[in-house]
């Protein structure tokens, strides 16, 4: 890949905002210790770091980088940018020196054979150098010499410079700074002026520190295990050399770059271990075994019927102009079951299938700038009774807003949110910038998912389809169709987007005795919980640090979608699919009807034991909130008042009645259901 091809307009568009925000924090930290009057940035890109220098009052700035940088993207005056081939010596290009030289995340693009020359040229311009470079396995665009901090320290030592590690501790946990800067940024100072410019910082050899965020990125990439021993040995030799001052022989200084033995692109092609495809043998206690059996005998036939009907719905759409999007999180496991259904019956699905990482929160963020009325209402509804400060902290935790108290303590309403969003203040601009960035990322992500096709088929557990409603209004160029397990009009409003929503298994507004499947509306968590993999909910969209492509902030792994150790209900469901080879639609529907009848009886009139079997895990509150709500409440006072309070507040009220009044529960639940059924 050429530099020109790698660093195109799309690359800089994704990189620009994050780089400048990082620069603001890092430079502020440095300038508190050392205040330059002139700065040169070698490998400046669009000039975001120099622009922040100018914003801080340093007007004398110059940037060097290749001719691939597009002038219209520059964030500094064009006369301050000098096209420079950094792969060759640039010493003497300017007949002057500066107070500070910057080169951040650049040196890894210089081949090992040119590394010493690059550092020599860099130090020819300043006695103080703000430096960072990608470490091994960091990954990125056109990296040819990923190396340890100790490696670069040795290059600087040859020229009489030593490290002052004065920034990393201060920014390590600051989310406004990208993790690669937090991990790698070091100041190198000429030894002859070190004591004068940085008093109080005695010499200490720098250390390579792996930031947790890099670790989390790296473990998701396939690697060759045989490289590990070589890597550890190489790092130890570098560490010993930089600590003792011993000069390594040239043959010892073997480049530890993935490109030395296997290129980064090749490393990414290494096949990862196959995902767990079949449920492992798990030793279950009596309750776990009962849940597994319930999943197999009751929920299995219900979801098997869903998959059979889903295939019939798919047949109505042209395969060449449609794509199936399994919506995170519940849709991912529905896709997992659908693939098993096809495999077990020797069938194929002609429509391309993809995972769609989103949530109501992430979609609302991406849609807000184009449809504030709907997306803003979706967001503010979740925070009724709270303050604007708490809502914004939950919705946009990456942004530190300095709201005045009078504004921060306002109650959450759509009008107050609109006022903050429209405010011509620094904090209003920060709010708008955040949501505009989310809009750009969501645009790019959806465009990539569509692959140029018109019909986008959303598969999820469903219920009200609020996420689809936002997508339909903001992206009308696509035909959005929701093929959900259930369509539940619990407000009785029949909203406009319901014309494009199908409850493949269940539709309705409330429980109807003649339709046992609608009992799920009393306890929809019995469907939602088994279908939710053990992964975090998507909260926003980001630019991938390796490719620049827009993606959700979290992505479920194949292993998390498969049944885990505590997924007794889902493991039972999967067991039913693995044991069932059935193409007869009538036979499949009859089994599902029997299962729905049993499920309805167990939801409406559970015994204490049934309540224990069907009690699912605590339900997490989405929209950036951290609390988890149990479906059944345990413990507390045994007084009648306390028991009735728990029944009123439990998510599954019939189940709570069975826990509170086990001997009276049949009569109590019948009375409760009659009262509920009588309500309009």
Q: Tens digits of per-residue pLDDT, 181-237?
A: 999 999 999 999 999 999 988 878 889 999 887 776 665 544 444 444 455 456 556
How far CA 381 is from CA of 375, 385, 483, 626, 651, in Å, comes to 10, 9, 25, 17, 19
pLDDT number for residue 89: 94
pLDDT number for residue 588: 92
Predicted confidence (pLDDT) per residue in 571-612, tens digit:
999 999 998 887 788 989 999 999 999 999 999 999 889 999
Of 99, 125, 112, which is closest to residue 43 (Cα–Cα)? Answer: 125
Residues 6+ apart with CB under 8 A from 199: none
The mean pLDDT of 610-623, rounded to a whole number, is 77
Of 371, 315, 317, 310, which is closest to residue 335 (Cα–Cα)? Answer: 310
pLDDT at 263 over 90: no
Which of the residue ranges 65-74, 84-93, 225-234 would you say has the lowest mean pLDDT? 225-234
8 A C-beta contact, residue 571 and residue 282: yes
Which of the residue ranges 45-59, 136-150, 281-295, 371-385 would you say has the lowest mean pLDDT? 281-295
The mean pLDDT of 486-513, rounded to a whole number, is 90
8 A C-beta contact, residue 33 and residue 166: yes
pTM over 0.85: no
Question: Interior CA angle at 538 toward 537 and 540, to 5°?
Answer: 145
8 A C-beta contact, residue 62 and residue 110: no
pLDDT number for residue 17: 58
pLDDT number for residue 276: 31
**CA distance linking residue 183 with residue 208, whole number of Å:** 8
What single-letter DSSP state applies at residue 125? T
Q: Please give the structure tokens belonging to residue 271.
A: 């096949």
Of 535, 536, 534, which is closest to residue 566 (Cα–Cα)? Answer: 534
8 A C-beta contact, residue 537 and residue 628: no
More confident residue, 356 or 7: 356
How far CA 647 is from CA of 419, 522, 610, 652, in Å, comes to 40, 13, 16, 8
**CA distance linking residue 78 with residue 63, whole number of Å:** 10
**CA distance linking residue 616 with residue 630, whole number of Å:** 8
8 A C-beta contact, residue 115 and residue 157: no
pLDDT at 47 over 60: yes
8 A C-beta contact, residue 136 and residue 144: no
**CA distance linking residue 606 with residue 294, whole number of Å:** 14
Banded pLDDT at 547 (limits 50, 70, 90): confident
pLDDT number for residue 285: 67
The mean pLDDT of 603-627, rounded to a whole number, is 76
8 A C-beta contact, residue 223 and residue 270: yes
More confident residue, 198 or 547: 198
Of 211, 156, 141, 223, which is closest to residue 187 (Cα–Cα)? Answer: 156
pLDDT at 22 over 60: yes
What single-letter DSSP state applies at residue 248? P
- Helix then strand then coil, in percent of the chain rounded to 5, is 50, 15, 40
Number of Cβ within 10 Å of residue 210's Cβ equals 13
Most distant CA pair in the chain, distance: 94
Q: How large is the angle between the packed helices 568-579 and 286-294, nearest 10 degrees?
A: 50
Predicted confidence (pLDDT) per residue in 241-252, tens digit:
675 666 655 545
Q: Please give the structure tokens belonging to residue 1.
A: 């890949």
pLDDT number for residue 36: 97
Cis before 132 (ω within 30):
no
How far CA 536 is from CA of 219, 328, 450, 539, in Å, comes to 17, 10, 24, 9
The mean pLDDT of 656-672, rounded to a whole number, is 75
pLDDT at 493 over 90: no
**CA distance linking residue 418 with residue 414, whole number of Å:** 6
Half-sphere exposure of 184 (CA within 13 A, CB side): 26
Q: Please give the structure tokens belonging to residue 248.
A: 């390594």
Banded pLDDT at 631 (limits 50, 70, 90): confident
* H or E, element range at 507: strand 501-508
pLDDT at 621 over 70: no
pLDDT number for residue 217: 62
**CA distance linking residue 125 with residue 62, whole number of Å:** 11
Exposure string for 516-538, b = 16+ CB within 10 A, e = fewer: bbbbbbbbbbbbbbbbbbebebb
Predicted confidence (pLDDT) per residue in 374-427, tens digit:
999 999 998 888 999 989 988 988 888 888 999 999 999 999 999 999 999 999
By three-state DSSP, how is residue 389 classified? Answer: helix
Of 624, 626, 646, 628, which is closest to residue 637 (Cα–Cα)? Answer: 646
**CA distance linking residue 265 with residue 278, whole number of Å:** 31
More confident residue, 431 or 535: 431
Average pLDDT, the chain: 84
pLDDT at 1 over 50: no
Domains and CATH numbers, the chain: 3-269 (3.40.50.150), 286-353+453-626 (no CATH), 360-440 (no CATH)
């Amino acid at each position: 890949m050429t530099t020109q091809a790698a660093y195109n307009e799309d690359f800089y568009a994704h990189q620009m905002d994050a780089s400048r925000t990082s620069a603001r924090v890092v430079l502020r930290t440095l300038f508190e210790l050392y205040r330059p009057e002139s700065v040169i940035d070698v490998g400046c890109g669009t000039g975001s770091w120099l622009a922040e220098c100018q914003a801080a009052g340093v007007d004398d700035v110059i940037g060097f980088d290749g001719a691939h940088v597009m002038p219209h993207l520059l964030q500094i005056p064009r006369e301050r940018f000098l096209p420079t081939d950094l792969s060759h010596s640039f010493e003497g290009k300017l007949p002057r020196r500066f107070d500070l030289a910057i080169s951040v995340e650049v040196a890894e693009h210089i081949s090992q054979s040119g590394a010493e020359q690059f550092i020599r040229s860099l130090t020819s311009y300043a006695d103080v150098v703000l430096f960072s470079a990608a470490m091994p396995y960091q990954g990125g665009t056109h990296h040819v010499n990923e190396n340890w901090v100790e490696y670069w320290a040795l290059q600087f030592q040859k020229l009489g410079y030593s490290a002052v590690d004065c920034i990393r501790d201060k920014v390590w946990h600051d989310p406004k700074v990208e993790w690669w800067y937090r991990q790698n940024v070091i100041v190198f100072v000429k030894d002859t002026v070190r004591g004068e410019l940085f008093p109080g910082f005695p010499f200490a050899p720098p250390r390579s520190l792996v930031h947790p965020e890099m670790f989390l990125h790296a473990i998701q990439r396939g690697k060759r295990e045989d490289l590990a021993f070589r890597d550890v040995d190489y790092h130890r030799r570098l560490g010993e050399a930089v600590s003792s001052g011993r000069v390594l022989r040239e043959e010892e200084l073997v480049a530890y770059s993935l490109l030395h033995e296997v290129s980064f692109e090749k490393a990414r092609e290494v096949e990862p271990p196959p995902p767990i495809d079949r449920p492992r043998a798990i030793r279950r206690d009596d309750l776990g075994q009962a849940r597994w059996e319930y999943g197999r005998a009751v929920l299995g036939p219900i979801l098997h019927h869903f998959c059979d009907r889903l295939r019939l719905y798919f047949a109505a759409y042209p395969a060449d102009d449609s794509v199936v999007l399994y919506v995170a999180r519940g849709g991912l496991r529905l896709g997992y079951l659908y693939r098993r259904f096809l495999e077990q019956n020797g069938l194929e699905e002609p429509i391309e299938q993809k995972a769609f990482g989103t949530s109501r929160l992430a979609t609302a963020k991406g849609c807000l700038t184009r449809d504030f009325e709907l997306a803003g209402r979706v967001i503010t509804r979740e925070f009724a009774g709270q303050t604007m400060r708490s809502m914004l902290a939950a919705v946009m935790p990456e942004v530190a807003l300095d709201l005045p108290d009078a504004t921060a303590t306002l109650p959450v309403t759509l009008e107050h949110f609109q006022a903050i969003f429209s405010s011509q203040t620094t904090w209003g601009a920060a709010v708008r910038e955040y949501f505009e960035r989310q809009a750009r990322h969501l645009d790019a992500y959806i465009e990539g998912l569509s692959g140029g096709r018109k019909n986008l088929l959303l598969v999820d557990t469903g219920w009200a389809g609020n996420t689809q409603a936002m997508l339909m209004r903001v992206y009308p160029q696509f035909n959005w169709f929701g093929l959900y397990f259930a369509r539940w009009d619990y407000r009785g409003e029949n909203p406009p987007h319901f014309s494009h929503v199908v409850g493949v298994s269940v539709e309705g507004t409330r429980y109807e005795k003649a339709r046992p499947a609608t009992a799920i509306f009393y306890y929809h968590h019995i469907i939602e919980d088994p279908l939710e993999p053990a992964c975090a909910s998507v909260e926003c969209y980001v630019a991938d640090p390796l490719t620049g492509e827009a993606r959700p902030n979290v992505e479920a792994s194949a292993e998390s979608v498969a049944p885990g150790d505590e997924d007794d209900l889902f493991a039972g469901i999967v067991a039913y699919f693995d044991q069932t080879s059935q193409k007869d639609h009538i036979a499949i529907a009859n089994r599902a009807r029997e299962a729905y009848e049993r499920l309805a009886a167990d939801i409406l009139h559970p015994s204490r034991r049934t309540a224990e079997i069907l009690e699912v895990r605590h339900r997490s509150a989405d929209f950036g909130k951290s609390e988890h709500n149990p479906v059944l409440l345990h413990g507390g006072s045994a007084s009648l008042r306390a028991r009735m309070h728990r029944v009123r507040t439990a998510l599954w009220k019939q189940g709570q009645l069975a826990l509170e009044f086990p001997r009276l529960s049949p009569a109590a639940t019948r009375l409760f259901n009659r009262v509920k059924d009588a309500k309009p």
